[in-house]
Amino acid sequence: MGLTEYRKKRDFKKTKEPSGAKSKKAKTSRLFVIQKHAASHLHYDFRLEYDGVLKSWAVPKGPSLDPSVKRLAVEVEDHPYDYASFEGEIPQEEYGGGEVIVWDHGDWTPASGKTISEMLDHGHLEFTLDGEKLRGSWALVRTKRQTSSRATSKHQWLLFKRSDEFARPGGPEMTDERPESVLSGKLLAIDARHAPKRAASRKSTSKSTSKRKRVGKRLSKRVKKKDPLPAAIAPQLARLVNEAPVGSDWLHEIKFDGYRIIARIEAGKVRLFTRNGHDWTDKYKPIADALKKLKVKSAILGKEGLKSSEI
């Protein structure tokens, strides 16, 4: 797990090989993500970025904001960093088959005093979360090694909230209040049956948008794609059907009749094109100006453009 084995074998007073401690100390915060996973048993996968991977625990009941409620968290294998943005369907016949949504994400910061490695070794992590749903001080404490008939035994931990202004003794629980994905607003199918309208209304607060961008930016920094923008891209077009699709995979919006616009952002410059390749940057200048404020170096975006006088 991580670099422990690597470090165990070396005395860094004697060898000049890197201990890996430097980059760790330079960072003040790391990514955390909680994925809600409707596998054979619904659970929340709690993951903390450490040493380039995501330390992971499966929390059957999910985190509680009540400090007196300690939730079982079963240690599972480290997951790759890129897993943090994974949302979708794992095929039923595969390991962990079922739907996954990103239930919360943000930064986690270990409590000062001990290194993360020490805290993990001692089985006692104290940290703060700065997510969209979960905030403040939390603790993860190892209890015992789960004995099972299987060859692989797993460590059991308890995840619980420390008392602070973000705690909610006696509830309500964030898991009930905010069942949706922080990335897409989607609900798992099992939740959508109970509260079909929640997802859309929660979808886009400005705060969650800015945080999503931050996390997205950080992810894209690590997964660098250096390919240039394609010269042209075919816009995704509406298709006429008799009935609107239903289910948690869909979000619905009113279709205004305007012009299909493709925005190209390159080296800080924004240009807007129609489907036929006409440059309409000047016609929709307010849109171009708004896109200039996006903190991205390059992107191709597609949307319907219209003036309010055209509605």
DSSP assignment string, 248-307: TT---------EEEEEEEETTEEEEEETT--B-TTTTHHHHHHHHTSS-SEEEEEEEE--
24 is an active site residue: no
75 binds Mn ion (CB under 5 A): no
Q: 245: which residues sit within 8 A by CB, 6+ positions away?
A: none
Identity of the residue, 47 or 264, whose beta carbon is nearer to Mn ion in the bound complex: 47
3-state SS track over 152-172: CCCEEEEEEECCCCCCCCCCC
Tokens standing for 127?
A: 């940290």
Can you list the pairs that 190-198 forms with residues at least 24 positions away whose Cβ atoms lie under 8 Å? Answer: 190/38, 190/42, 191/248, 192/247, 192/248
47 binds Mn ion (CB under 5 A): no
* Selected range binding Mn ion among 37-45, 116-124, 266-274, 299-307, rule: CB under 5 A: 37-45
CB of 129 within 8 A of CB of 136?
A: yes
Which one from 22, 255, 293, 295 is the annotated catalytic residue?
A: 255
Identity of the residue, 37 or 55, whose beta carbon is nearer to Mn ion in the bound complex: 37
Report how many residues bind Mn ion under the rule CB under 5 A.
2
- Residues between 169 and 208 that touch Mn ion (CB under 5 A): none
Binding Mn ion (rule: CB under 5 A), the pick from 3, 31, 33, 37 is 37
45 binds Mn ion (CB under 5 A): yes
135 binds Mn ion (CB under 5 A): no
* Selected range binding Mn ion among 30-38, 59-67, 108-116, 260-268, rule: CB under 5 A: 30-38
| SS3 at position 80 | strand
In the complex, the smallest distance separating the C-beta of residue 172 from Mn ion, rounded to whole angstroms, is 25
* Selected range binding Mn ion among 12-20, 44-52, 80-88, 293-301, rule: CB under 5 A: 44-52
Binding site for Mn ion (CB under 5 A): 37, 45
Positions marked catalytic: 255
